[in-house]
Amino acid sequence: MSSPTTPGVLPAARPSVFPATRVVLLLLCLMYLLTYIDRVNVSTAALVFEKELGLSKVQLGFVFSAFAYPYLIFQMVGGYLGDRFGPRKVLTICSLLWAAATMLTGLVTTFTSMIIARVLLGLGEGATFPTATSAMSNWTKPADRGFAQGLTHAFARIGNSVTPPLIIALIAWTGWRGSFVVMGGVSILWVGAWFFYFRDNPAEHPKITTEELSGLPVFMDRAAQLRNPVPWRRLFVRMLPVTFVYFCYGWTLWLFLSWLPQYFKNQHNLDLKSSALFSMAVFFAGVVGDTLGGMLSDRVLRKTGSRKKARSHLVVIFFLCSLACMIPLFFTQNLNLLALSLGGAFFFAEMTIGPMWAIPMDIAPRYAGFASGIMNSGSALAAILSPVIFGYIIQKTGNWSLPFLGSMGMFLIGSIVAFWMKPDDAFNVEAAPKTV
């Protein structure tokens, strides 16, 4: 770890009411909040622009999933860039692009232009989560990784939860087009705060304290990274089981994010406001799940010392609980019971987030950005497939419950493959080849 008194590094500051590590974590939490509002606001706004643009259910499914094509491509690329050039620079550039794409969405007039705007959004957001994980690997104590990942993703679910009523309110105030412009402007404000406050090396931050630095992992600077290039092939193979499990999770995530307001509106004939409120209630269950899952994972790790129990075994339990919660969808039409069932399923699915996002940092802390990019590509692929397949099934059958059978199957398969993730088996960097 770089000493706070080494040449070129600022001396450690005195203790602050707002520790630098906590402020950085808060900034990342706000980023997760905004990225999810900007990627799922289209699902709520679609209740209005679907007719204006003359879109079919299948076309609407493509609008929901278009974001995910570049998002998938830039997971590993973005993770590598975050490790290579630093989260400060990479997140600043990517965030400016996602903010601009959000604003442009408010200017579209056709199905094609909507797809283009969504693709640009995917380009901007593709590198965000892997790069944020790279930042967290340097700014978070190893024992707090599950909590940090759970908390940041809880803010993402807060974004899911508040998006329906927030966008409905913005639509009432500015129209559906204005809602995208407003949210794009808010995202630009975050970019400025990130660029001026964050530093890649915690020891170079003017507000960091000696106490904070003592608990952080060793920082590997750019020169050290050049001497230890990413072992692409070996790390990719090592992360494959983790990626598949995250694909199984992502299948249901994107089904919920894309279609839940439409499910309540069409399956149960709710008005726009009621659909938004029911969707918000389900997504809020995910906020609680993210936070508790990360805390429980770290607690199990501290108590047992086993990452396998704290990560893999908890994922298996949460997947099976989520599967069980979906069973009532096929046996009742009671709206409150259905909302409770969906909320329970989303709650347990989100409890896997803290353990899952801690795994890349456990396996390959030096390459946390790239490793998490590999893992998140599973969810990005699910984001391409799940919304379109859901829309196709609905258009062909008119049965809004049927697609949830696929989610139940994914959770079952994922709970089996989770035993192969092996977070307790750290990646052997020394055995990696010296060239990429």
Most distant CA atoms of the chain, gap in Å: 68
**pLDDT tens per residue, range 226-242:** 556 667 788 889 999 99
Length of the chain: 436
Q: How far apart are the first and last CA of the chain?
A: 26
Tens of pLDDT, residue by residue over 9-27, are 444 445 556 889 999 999 9
Report residue 340 as tokens: 């409770």
pLDDT number for residue 344:
95
d(CA 24, CA 358): 18
In this structure, what token pair is assigned to residue 234?
A: 């070996």
- DSSP state string for 357-386: HHHHHHH-GGGHHHHHHHHHHHHHHHHHHH
pTM for this predicted structure: 0.76
| pLDDT tens digits, 297-330 | 999 999 999 999 999 999 999 999 999 999 998 8
